[in-house]
Every structure is written in structure tokens, then in C-alpha cells.
Structure 1
């Protein structure tokens, strides 16, 4: 029970990682017209979840979790380096690195354990957000599967929250989208423990290119 409550706190909108400032390319998709209503939002989110950074992030969470559980500092550093290198634009690199570092700082203060402190010190530079979450969960001895499902759902919820602010999407529609995609989060999370870093890959080129265009977008409210 305590692990479930800890996960809810770590991945809640109120956790001080600055997630509210990022849309992960969604604002650019709204500007281009790719996301204009409930149906197109659900399609865009499903693609990002299953074919893009959603799936990749879950793999990175799992790999960081495993490295933390065994205390393998070199493996953890290698996963983090790869996670940062996978960011396809400056804005998405900022999104993951800023949230990752903020997550580690907040968690080390509020939920300190020796393993977390030692592993965090082994990553002195930028830290990718999924790596930070996997590291903390592993250091706290959490079971992997619930961590993956919770991380995937939080990923969707944050993007739906962004959609409510930048797209013609109401709260009821956003809730329906989350409900519709939750089973797909669970199904995806169930496949991840058997995957490795060799299974990383993305096919969301529209998001990647849109993120680059967002850097010079005339009107915007998000940092990505």
C-alpha cells in the first residue's frame, strides 16, 4: 500500500518537476491542425504512447530500475546518456532533463534512502526524467510493473492536461480520452519487462519535426 501511495505522490501534477510547463510537442500539433478535437487528440496520444516516446520512456524506466536494484552505477549512467541522446530536439531535451533533475532533488529530500542518495550522486549532470523515476523506484525497492503502469498513465494525464489549455478540448472529452487509452497503457506496460535497450525506437517523425518548429512558433504557452 505504501508503495502505491508513494507512486501517486511522485507522479501527481503537484509534484515539483514543472510538468505543467511542457506539452511534449502537443502545442505544435494543435498549431498545425493535427490535433483539433477529441478524436484527433486520442489518435495523437495513442501514437506517441505506443510508437514514440511513451514506449521508449517505459523501457528506460525499466532499465534504470534494474540498474538501481543491483547498484550498477555504470549501467545506470549508460542508460541516462542514451535517454538524453534520444531527445530529438532542444526543447524535448530540456523537458526531460529539467524534470528529471527536479524529480531527483525533490525525492531525495522528501523520501531519502541511502541507495537513492548514492545512485543520484553517480549522475552529476543532466538526468532524463524516466531514468530519474526508474532510479528512485528501484532504490526504494518498488516492484517494476506498477511503476511502469503508473508512469504511462501519468504521461497521458499530463498531455491531456496540456490539451485542455491549448486545444479545443473540454474536461469531459479529456477524461474520456484518458479512460479510452488506459487499457492500452496497461497492455504496453506489461510488455516492457521483457524488452531491452535494443528495443528502443520511435516512429513519430511528425512530433519530432513539430517540436523543432515549436522553437520558433510565434504564439505559445508551453516550453515544448
Structure 2
């Protein structure tokens, strides 16, 4: 009986994580390219190879050192009822969003995730940003922190792959090869993120910020970032 209970809990945690990471979750992730559309407009991303390289660099230089590290810290804070640390992490995310559209993205997706939780009868808390809201939703699954970070990163990768398909544009096969490349890179990015305490966490990707600022005034756009 003990074994059956443990297995059921593990299965439930896995399925909840898959659910949270799904692009079908109504949080609006599909409407953002996180600067990729501007990179295409600037001629920095032109095909499958350059799209894959761009997203791989973004994974390691931006996501791992900022959002993934925050998710790891937030899961710990939620599980130890450290409300003060949760608030600090929320503010850190907001203060490190260098453009209006990046800030709008994290606030809108965090708010939408909270509305989704309410629709299921779950208290979403008061998290203002998507990484912190995701950590709150995932922390109650019983999954290990590393598994939560893997799910968050893969959800990001799926959304960005779809953004590449639409903005470059690329075929479905190219998109799947990019996703495979990102899936191979995600474990190392997650392991790196889990080593970053507050003094070592950072958000420093100048070209990404410049492209995002340009995107805000870009004449023709498919995406909100």
C-alpha cells in the first residue's frame, strides 16, 4: 500500500508539472517572442541554425541566470512559508525587466496564471510575476525543485520554438529540431540555475534589451514582445 501511494503521488506530481508547462495553459505565452521577432527584423536570426543558436544563448545567458534561479528560490520560499522572500523575488523580477513589454509579459502571464488557479478553486496568492506565480503553483505538486525547473524551462522552450516558426518563418520539422536542441541544453541550464544564490543571480543581456526596446516601436509585429 505504501508503494502504491508513493507511486500515485509521483504520477500526480508529474502530470501537474506537464500541465503547468503546457503551451495550452491559458496564460498567453504564445503571444510573446521575448525579442526574437526583433532579432529576425534586424537580420540576426534568419534560419533554423541562427534561431537555434539564438535561443540556446538566451537559455543559458538570460533564462538560467535570472528566471530559473528565481523559480528555484521561490519554490523554497513557498515551501518554508517565507512570504518576505517571495515578495523580494517578485520585486527582483520586476526591477530587472529592462523594457515595458518585458515587464508587461511577466505581469500579464503571472496574473493569467493566478486566474487559471482561481478557476480551479485554488488560492493563487498575490504573486505579481510569472516565475514566482509558476513556483507557487508548482510547489504544491510535491515535485522536486529540479523537476519544477525542468518543466518551466521546457514550457519556455516550446513557446519560443513556436515563435521561431512564425517569425523567421520555419517549417514544423525545423521547429522540432530546435526544440530537441533546447531539450538537450536545458538540464545543464537548470543545474547552473540551482547553484545561483541571490548575490550571483543576474539579468544582463544588453542586446536582448536593445532589441526589445526596438520591438516596442517596430512597424509590423506578430508578437507582444
> Do 1:54 and 1:155's aligned partners in 2 also have CA atoms closer than 8 Å?
no
After TM superposition, the structure 1 stretch with the greater mean CA deviation from structure 2, 54-63 or 132-141, is 132-141
> Do 1:9 and 1:15's aligned partners in 2 also have CA atoms closer than 8 Å?
yes
Total equivalences in the alignment: 215
> Do 2:70 and 2:132's aligned partners in 1 also have CA atoms closer than 8 Å?
yes
> Do 2:64 and 2:192's aligned partners in 1 also have CA atoms closer than 8 Å?
no
Q: Go from structure 1 to structure 2 and tell me whether the alpha carbon gap of 1:162 and 1:25 turns closer, same or farther (over 3 Å shift).
A: same
State the match for 1:214 in structure 2. 215
After superposition, residues 90-109 of structure 1 pair within 5 angstroms as: 90-109=100-119
Question: What is the rounded CA distance, in whole Å, between the counterparts of 2:112 and 2:60 in structure 1?
Answer: 26
Question: What is the rounded CA distance, in whole Å, between the counterparts of 1:159 and 1:170 in structure 2?
Answer: 14
How high is the TM-score relative to the length of structure 1? 0.91
Counterpart selection for 1:81 from 83, 87, 91: 91
> Do 2:20 and 2:138's aligned partners in 1 also have CA atoms closer than 8 Å?
no
> Do 2:48 and 2:170's aligned partners in 1 also have CA atoms closer than 8 Å?
yes
State the match for 1:37 in structure 2. 47
How high is the TM-score relative to the length of structure 2? 0.90
1:171 and 2:176 are equivalent in the alignment: no
Please list every run of at least 4 consecutive aligned residues from structure 1 whose deviation after the TM superposition is greater than 4 angstroms. Answer: none
RMSD: 1.5
After superposition, residues 12-161 of structure 1 pair within 5 angstroms as: 12-110=22-120, 112=122, 117=123, 120-121=125-126, 123=127, 127-161=128-162
- Residue ranges of structure 1 left out of the alignment (5+ in a row): none
After TM superposition, the structure 1 stretch with the greater mean CA deviation from structure 2, 167-176 or 211-220, is 167-176
Question: What is the rounded CA distance, in whole Å, between the counterparts of 1:37 and 1:131 in structure 2?
Answer: 33
> Do 1:47 and 1:204's aligned partners in 2 also have CA atoms closer than 8 Å?
no
